[in-house]
Amino acid sequence: MSKSLRSRFKELVEISFWRYKKLKEGELTNEHYKTFYTDYFDLKDEFYDDKIVLDIGCGPRGSLEWADMTKERYGLDPLTDKYLKLGANKHKMKYVNAYSENIPFEDNYFDVICSFNSLDHVESIDKTVSEIKRVLKKGGLFLLIVDVHPYPTPTEPQSIKWDFIQKYFPDFKILTEHRYKNSELGKIYVNARNKHMAEESDKSGLLVCKIQKGE
């Protein structure tokens, strides 16, 4: 997939953010991730036994480093080559340098696909959703945490709405769906933990879903 000017700018902003984080923190830690893949979605550690897992827009921290029980674990991100220079080369999970619009795996490959704070960053939501459906196994889970906002931004070009699942995944079974307020601007994981329920009138917030592909 060729990069648009918008994508080039967005990726420059994102890698600059992570370089700043690396400079500030020294080491990019990942201890906070595990709970969001397990307890937060009412999943036990053993659920992931021998599973094949994909994290879309994984970032450089090692989001799946906790998941030693999996059969395979991949982080997909177009910036992974740069992430390796920030310390990701030390991780046990595998990084895949690719866009979500063209996931380089065969059909029905993954048991679990996750997208935390990334789906509104993609170039094409239609192509990304199509790819998620293609590479997820029948009966597989898609875990989603995404900002809802009425207007696109330079780094979040996709304006996700509250009806995202109903619009793009009508053929999936909704296991859980929550709509939360953005009580702290720009802190998606803090807002996810706070779980302050959004009002019907809220135009922005946080959408948290666990859905399952049909058998």
What is d(CA 213, CA 215) in angstroms, rounded to the nearest whole number?
Answer: 7
pLDDT tens digits for range 69-93: 999 999 999 999 999 999 999 999 9
Going 24 to 25 to 30 to 32, the CA torsion angle's sign is: negative
- pLDDT (tens digit, 9 = 90+) per residue, 154-194? 888 999 999 999 999 999 999 999 999 998 887 899 999 99
Task: Catalogue all structural domains in the chain, each as residue range(s) with its CATH number.
Answer: 5-213 (3.40.50.150)
Give the global pTM: 0.94
Strand ordering across the sheet containing 94-96: 94-96, 72-76, 52-56, 110-116, 136-148, 205-213, 172-180
Q: Indicate the pLDDT class of residue 6, thresholds 50, 70 and 90.
A: confident
DSSP β-bridge partners for residue 116: 145
If you average pLDDT over residues 34-57, what whole number do you get?
A: 97
H or E element that contains 21: helix 5-25
The SS3 call for residue 83 is helix
Residues 103-148 have pLDDT tens digits of 999 999 999 999 999 999 999 999 999 999 999 999 999 999 999 9
Q: How far apart are CA 55 and CA 37, in angstroms?
A: 10
